[in-house]
Amino acid sequence: MKVLVFGQIGQVGQELQRRAGDIELEVRGQEEADFTNPEACAGFVTATDADAVINAVAYTAVDAAEEQEELALAINGSTPGAIARAAAARDLPLVHISTDYVFDGTGEMPFATDHPTEPLGAYGRTKLVGEQAVRDARGPHAIMRTSWVVSSHGNNFVKTMLRLGGERDRLTIVADQIGGPTCAAAIADACLSVACQLVDDPSKSGTYHLSGGPDVSWADFTREIFAQCGTACEVADIPTSDYPAPATRPLNSRMDNVKTQAVFGIARSDWRAGLTDILKDLGEI
């Protein structure tokens, strides 16, 4: 089994390379694959001898997307569409990573995969365009919506909290945004499994949710980070309204993962165990 992977240095891209096992990867990073050039990226799909494709590239700067929506649209929408069309032309399964930001973030119930989409900002809008382009290509595919991605790589919430917790005695953290932290390692494992299963059974194509559990607030997530690594930093709850940002954040990022387990046999990952692995990777415990 061989998989063409778009994304080399991002959180999921790095974990895909660490966790591929017996699966051979053809990895295309930013030095080779310009994600602002849809047709160039599609060319890698046309030329590959891989059995499936995983797209782990995205423009994820949520606030910056408000000012750079055209760039975000190219990376999150146009290029995934071109990749999907090239994959469909060759009947290659495509696993495409998306986000909970395609929803409006209201309510308190987990979003089902068929819940109406209504993005709150540019990032979510551009990711939704990418989703629809993948569907419209009509090839074998799995759109994997995830949330709150963390790992020992790059910039993410865990690493930011570790830094700030080491510098300060008290942090104020948003407590009214609720969601499922998702470790990049769990996403990588799931994407590899889904790609292999789609090769064997393209009828499993569709849209799925993949988020860690249990659902938690950013504030309580921070408390667990500090508890596991023994950081003596107080965490005080604040509402989202006390932390203004250019892009509106969803208050509800809960997602229903039942379909993913039913179709692919992939259970919802425990982010607390994944966090332990991340902290060990970072030498914090």
17 domain residue, yes or no: yes
Given this model, what pLDDT does residue 108 score?
97
Does 123 participate in catalysis according to the annotation?
yes
Q: Give the active site residue among 59, 101, 123, 208.
A: 123
Structure tokens at 155: 């910039």
Tell whether pTM > 0.95: yes
DSSP 30: T
220 domain residue, yes or no: no
Contacts of 66 (CB under 8 A, 6+ apart): 121, 122, 246, 247
Query: Which residue range forms the structural domain that includes residue 104?
Result: 2-155+180-212+254-271
Number of neighbouring beta carbons within 10 Å of residue 59: 24
- What's the mean pLDDT in 33-61? 97
CA–CA gap between residue 93 and residue 250 (Å, rounded):
31
- What's the mean pLDDT in 106-118? 98
Backbone angles phi, psi at 143, to 5 degrees: -95, 115
261 domain residue, yes or no: yes
222 domain residue, yes or no: no
pLDDT, tens only, 144-194: 999 999 999 999 999 999 999 999 999 999 999 999 999 999 999 999 999
The answer to whether 8 and 30 have CB atoms below 8 angstroms apart is yes
DSSP 157-183: HHHHHHHHHHH-SEEEEE-S-EE--EE
Confidence of residue 201 (pLDDT cuts 50, 70, 90): very high
Q: CATH number for the domain including 89?
A: 3.40.50.720
pLDDT, tens only, 219-277: 999 999 999 999 999 999 999 999 999 999 999 999 999 999 999 999 999 999 999 99
β-bridge pairing 252-253 and 178-179: parallel
172 domain residue, yes or no: no
Given this model, what pLDDT does residue 137 score?
98
- What's the mean pLDDT in 60-64? 97
Given this model, what pLDDT does residue 30 score?
86
**Pure H helices in the chain:** 11-19, 38-47, 69-73, 79-89, 122-137, 157-167, 184-200, 218-229, 258-264, 271-281
Given this model, what pLDDT does residue 29 score?
93
How many residues are present in the chain? Answer: 285
Number of domains in the chain: 1
240 domain residue, yes or no: no
238 domain residue, yes or no: no
42 domain residue, yes or no: yes
Given this model, what pLDDT does residue 31 score?
85
Mean pLDDT over all residues of the chain?
A: 97
CA–CA gap between residue 181 and residue 268 (Å, rounded):
11
